[in-house]
Amino acid sequence: MNIAVFCSGSGTNLQAIIDAKQKGNIKATIKLVLSDVENAYALERAKKASIKIYIVKLKDFASRKYFEEKIIDILKEEGIDLIVLAGFMKILSSDFVASYQNKILNIHPALLPSFKGTHGIRDAFLYGVKITGPTVHFVSKDMDEGPIILQEVVAIEEGDTLEILAEKVHKAEHRIYPKAIELFVQGKLKIDGRRVRAG
Ligand code: GRF
């Protein structure tokens, strides 16, 4: 199975996926890393792991449609079976999602359906919840809406700052994302309405 990881930023989740692959905990090929940001640190991590990189910038295309067509061409050429969004900051259109139906995973840094959107960790912290944590889910046409694969609870303790919480959530992300990917690779994820059964 060939995996493409899409990133826009630092790529700590990408790193966790690379590490899991190197330890034999993900039995698939990380075929490429694609970024819409030229200087994303994720690209350095990919290069270090000898993974092919693609930089595809929205502003280089006349419209989002052409941008996505370019990405789909790459994915087809590389024989990609699974797309892993790891801090990819562009929203994919419903047409794109339909062409990879149930083959796109995302990680969100809050317990969905709470605190959707770009600032899941901060929003949970400011709301004053006592627990939060990351969610790995299938991508559907609506943002942060697809069926949930794995979640991990992170407690917000007395004295935690936003920075401390962010670190705890990221550590949990790095535990559950590789696990969810391997479940997919092993063909263990069965979608039944909103419910995802593993095994
Ligand atoms: C993570 O917090 C993830 O939940 C969100 O984007 C962030 C990406 O971080 N979707 P990194 O680039 O993997 O370090």
Q: Whose CA is nearest to atom 1 of ligand 1?
A: 87
Residues annotated as part of the active site: 108
Contact between residue 36 and residue 56 where contact means Cβ atoms under 8 Å apart: yes
Ligand 1 atom nearest the C-alpha of 10 is 12
CA dihedral of 67, 68, 73, 79, whole degrees rounded to 10? 140
Q: Whose CA is nearest to atom 10 of ligand 1?
A: 87
List per-residue pLDDT tens for the chain, 199 residues long: 999 999 999 999 999 999 999 999 999 999 999 999 999 999 999 999 999 999 999 999 999 999 999 999 999 999 999 999 999 999 999 999 999 999 999 999 999 999 999 999 999 999 999 999 999 999 999 999 999 999 999 999 999 999 999 999 999 999 999 999 999 999 999 999 999 999 7
DSSP 58: G
| Model confidence, pTM | 0.97
Contact between residue 105 and residue 137 where contact means Cβ atoms under 8 Å apart: yes
Q: Whose CA is nearest to atom 5 of ligand 1?
A: 87
DSSP 197: E
How far is ligand 1, taken at its centre, from the CA of residue 6, in Å?
11
Q: Whose CA is nearest to atom 9 of ligand 1?
A: 87
Rg (alpha carbons) of the chain, rounded to whole number: 16
Contact between residue 183 and residue 176 where contact means Cβ atoms under 8 Å apart: no
**How is residue 76 written in tokens?**
């087809």
- The span from the CA of 20 to the CA of 96, in Å, is 28
Pocket of ligand 1 (CB under 6 A): 7, 9-14, 86-87, 107-109, 134, 170, 173
- DSSP element (H, E) containing 163: helix 162-185
- The span from the CA of 199 to the CA of 184, in Å, is 10
- The span from the CA of 175 to the CA of 50, in Å, is 23
How far is ligand 1, taken at its centre, from the CA of residue 125, in Å?
17
